[in-house]
Amino acid sequence: MATSSPAAPADPAQISGPEVHRNLSTAALVEAAIRRGEGELAANGALVCDTGARRGRSPSDKFLEDTPAIHDSINWGKVNQPISPEHFAAVEREARQWLGSQREVFRFDGYAGADPAYRLKVSVVAAEAWHTLFAKTLFINAASQDRAGFRSDWTILAAGGLELSDPKRFGLNGPIGILQSLERRMVIIVGTRYAGEIKKSIFYAMNYDLPARGVFPMHCSANVAHDDPANVALFFGLSGTGKTTLSADPDRDLIGDDEHGWSDEGVFNVEGGCYAKCIRLSEEGEPQIWNAIRFGSVLENVVMDPATRVPDYDSDAKTENTRVTYPVDFIENARIPSVGGHPKNVIFLTADAFGVLPPLSRLTPEQAMYYFVNGYTSKLAGTEAGVTEPQPNFSPCFGGPFLPRSPLVYAEMLAERIRRHGSRVWLLNTGWTGGPYGTGSRFKLAWTRTFVSRILDGSLDAVECREHPIFGLHMPVAVAGVPSEVLDPINTWKDRAAYEAKARDLAKRFRENDAKYELTDEVRRGGPKG
C-alpha cells in the first residue's frame, strides 16, 4: 500500500470528475433527493429518508488519525481509536475516487459556531442530495456574498455508499469507517448513510479546538427567558433524557438543542439547526417540535403511510432512533443569532431506570463536577442484544463519544465557570419512580416541566432540602405543583428495603465508574455516601 497522501487540492473540498451542485437552495435539494429516489415528501412537507442498514451512529467504527502533533493531547482508548496516517490517506484516496466516479455530487458551505469569534468554516461534499440538505439544516448557512472563494476549516467527505472490498487492509474493523484527522482537519465517512455522523464529527472537532481557545464545549441544549437576557439555562444529558424536549419551551427563547460553547462572553450555539428524536412525538406533548416539521425539515427512518403520506411517529418498525432535522428558526421563539449570556442555571438530565434517584436535587460545586464526570443515565432492556434488565450507562460529561481530550479537562472548565458566574446546578431525573423500569412508572412530563419552571423562575433558589442518605443529594422538601411524596423516591416504593438495596446497588456502580478518574478527594466526596 502506498503511504503518501494524494496531492491536496487548493480547496480540500474539491472533487474532480462529476457535476458538483454547490450550495443549492432547500427547494432544489428536495427536488434532487426526490428525483434520485433518496426520499419522499410527507403530507406535512418534510422530506422522509431512510438511512439504510445503519440507523444510528457507529462509535466502534470511529477512528482518529494518530500524528505526533496531536498524540499527547488525546485521551486514547475505546472512544478515541487511533488510525495511522498511511491508512487515513488510503481511505481518503478511495473516497475521493468514489465520489469522483459519481454523475453528480452535492456541496454545502457554512459554519459551526454562532459566535463569529469562534466559528469554523465547514464544507460537506456528499453523494446524496439529502445528506447535503441535512447539513444545510444543521449547520449555519454562509451568506451568498461569503461563498465566493470559500475555503473550509473543516471538510467532510460523505461517501456513505462506498463499500471497501478489504476493510482490514485500511486498518478498519469492518466496512464502516468514520475517520477524522485533527491535523488535516478532515472527516471521511464510508459504509454508512446515517447522517448523524456528519453532525457529530464537527462537534468532535469543536471539542478539540475550543478548549485551546479558552472556550468550554458542551453537549447540552440552551434557552433564555423572553424578557430577561441574564436568565440563561443549560440542559446537559444523553440521548433520550429530554434535552430537546425541555429546552423547547414556549415561555423561553431557544438558543439551541444540542451543542454549545461557553466563552468569556457567554454561551453560543455550535449549530444552526436541531436534531430531535421523534419516536412517539405528539402535537400535545411537544407542540414546538411538531410544528417545526414542515418543508425544509428531514425525517429519518420514520414510517410513513404510503396512501396518506402521514408520518407514524409511534412506529418503531425501523428503529427507536427516529429523528427529525430542522433549522433552529423553525422553532417559533428561537433566539437568532443563537447566543446568550452566562447561565444562571445548569441542569443535568438523567433517565434513571433503577428508579432510585430523586426527581430533583440541588448540587454543590463538588457534586456538580462528580456527576458531570460520570454522566449517568440508563440503558433499557431490549435496546441492545443481551440487555435483559436496566443497566447504568456512564458517558463522561454527558457526551463521552465526542470527547478527544480527557474528561477532566472539560469537568474542570465547568467547575471554573459555575464558580466564577455563580451558576446553580441541578440533577433532574426524568426516569422512573415507584420501582425500576418494568415495575415502576416514568415521572410525568408535566412534573418534569414544573421542576424546570420552578428552577428557572427562581422559586427554588432558597428551597429547604433534605439529604439523601445514600447518594448525599440535596432533595427539595416541597415544590409547588408536584406531590411532595414523590420528591424523596423511597416514599414511592412499596418495599422500602427493596428500594435501599437497589439504591446501594446503583451507588456501588457509580463508585466502580468513578475509579477510572483521578478525582480530587473533595470531588470524590461529592459522590454516593454508601
Q: Check which CATH number belongs to the domain holding 199 and give it.
A: 3.40.449.10
Instruction: For 77-106, write each residue's pLDDT tens digit.
Output: 999 999 999 999 999 999 999 999 999 999
Quick check: is 95 in a domain? yes
User: Could you tell me the CATH number of the domain that includes residue 414?
Assistant: 3.90.228.20
The pLDDT of residue 11:
86
Residue 177 parent element (H or E): strand 177-181
Quick check: is 248 in a domain? no
Is beta strand 81-83 parallel, antiparallel or unpaired with respect to 62-65?
parallel
402-424 average pLDDT score: 97
The pLDDT of residue 527:
97
pLDDT at 384 over 60: no
* Residue 189 lies in domain: 61-212
229-234 average pLDDT score: 97
The pLDDT of residue 389:
65
On whether both 348 and 495 belong to a single domain, the answer is yes
Active site residues: 57, 200, 219, 239, 243-244, 258, 323
Residue 424 parent element (H or E): strand 424-429
The confidence band for 310, taking pLDDT boundaries of 50, 70 and 90, is very high
pLDDT at 249 over 80: yes
pLDDT at 239 over 90: no
Looking at 191, 212, 233, the residue that finishes a domain is: 212
What nine digits make up the cell of 470? 445514600
323-332 average pLDDT score: 95
Looking at 197, 212, 227, the residue that finishes a domain is: 212
What's the rounded Cα separation, in Å, for the pair 153 and 342? Answer: 27
What nine digits make up the cell of 290? 411538531
In which residue are the cell numbers 405543583 written? 481
On whether both 348 and 201 belong to a single domain, the answer is no
pLDDT at 383 over 50: no
Identify which has the larger pLDDT, 374 or 384: 374
Residues with Cβ within 8 Å of residue 300, at least 6 apart in sequence? 49, 50, 51, 55, 195, 322, 323, 324, 325
Q: What is the full DSSP assignment across 30-62? A: HHHHHHTTSEEE-TTSPEEE--TT--S--GGGE
Q: Reduced to 3 states, what is the DSSP secondary structure of residue 168?
A: helix
Residues with Cβ within 8 Å of residue 180, at least 6 apart in sequence? 62, 63, 64, 65, 186, 187, 188, 201, 204, 205
The confidence band for 5, taking pLDDT boundaries of 50, 70 and 90, is very low
Average pLDDT over the chain reads 94
What's the rounded Cα separation, in Å, for the pair 363 and 378? Answer: 20
Quick check: is 154 in a domain? yes
Looking at 188, 212, 236, the residue that finishes a domain is: 212
Quick check: is 133 in a domain? yes
Quick check: is 89 in a domain? yes
Instruction: For 147-200, write each residue's pLDDT tens digit.
Output: 888 999 999 999 999 999 999 999 999 999 999 999 999 999 999 999 999 999
The pLDDT of residue 460:
98
The confidence band for 391, taking pLDDT boundaries of 50, 70 and 90, is confident
Instruction: For 429-473, write each residue's pLDDT tens digit.
Output: 999 999 999 899 999 999 999 999 999 999 999 999 999 999 999
pLDDT at 240 over 60: yes
What is the number of structural domains in the chain? Answer: 2
The pLDDT of residue 413:
97
What's the rounded Cα separation, in Å, for the pair 33 and 39? Answer: 6
The pLDDT of residue 530:
65
pLDDT at 107 over 50: yes
Identify which has the larger pLDDT, 32 or 391: 32
In this structure, of 108-112, 275-279, 293-297, the range with the lowest mean pLDDT score is 275-279
Instruction: For 264-294, write each residue's pLDDT tens digit.
Output: 999 999 999 999 999 999 999 899 999 999 9
What's the rounded Cα separation, in Å, for the pair 202 and 197? Answer: 9
In which residue are the cell numbers 419551551 written? 249
Quick check: is 305 in a domain? no
On whether both 492 and 351 belong to a single domain, the answer is yes
Quick check: is 371 in a domain? yes
Q: What are phi and psi of 313, to 5 degrees?
A: -75, -15
pLDDT at 382 over 70: no
Identify which has the larger pLDDT, 387 or 72: 72
Quick check: is 421 in a domain? yes
Identify which has the larger pLDDT, 504 or 248: 504
Q: Which of 249-253, 317-321, 471-475 has the highest mean pLDDT?
A: 471-475
What nine digits make up the cell of 236? 446537559
Instruction: For 13-36, write each residue's pLDDT tens digit.
Output: 999 999 999 999 999 999 999 999
